[in-house]
Amino acid sequence: MSDFLRQFASTFAELDHSNLHRLGELYSEDALFRDPLHEVRGLSNLRRYFAELYANVSELRFDFYGFDHVLKGEGEGEGYLRWTMSYRHPRLKNGQLIRVEGCSHLLWNGKVHQHRDYFDAGALLYENLPVMGAAIRWLKRRLA
């Protein structure tokens, strides 16, 4: 694993509502962040996105366990991080802990300028909604 990915994962895992100023250590001013539900451009918008995320959950943790990278040049690289996100939201799954597996694709040149997350949006959100969740879980079982 590259030192860059190791440091990124360590710092990212330490983030919470009280230290989002640290996002500037990880992301460039023009960073692009995408996941199945959002697209966020720019560091200031990324700070707002994470502030809203942390304000709506009672617990949020990332455990990183897989790393793969390609160094392209001095300070420049591309890599993947595999992770498990664990979170609690008072309106989802009766506040129980929800775990979702995912992968992040990162491009960096000193700092991350592109971050794309891949995960099952149904497992993250839709399957845990009070009414819709049962229907989605049933549909997934039928399709499997």
Question: Quick one: pLDDT at residue 143?
Answer: 73
The pTM is what?
0.83
* Domain spans in the chain, listed from the N-terminal domain onward: 3-143
Choose the CATH number for 3-143 among 3.40.50.150, 3.10.450.50, 3.90.1150.110, 3.40.50.720: 3.10.450.50
Report pLDDT digits (tens) over 20-55. 999 999 999 999 999 998 999 999 999 999 999 898
Q: Provide CB contacts within 8 A for 31, sequence distance 6+.
A: 41, 42, 43, 46, 111, 112, 113, 114, 115
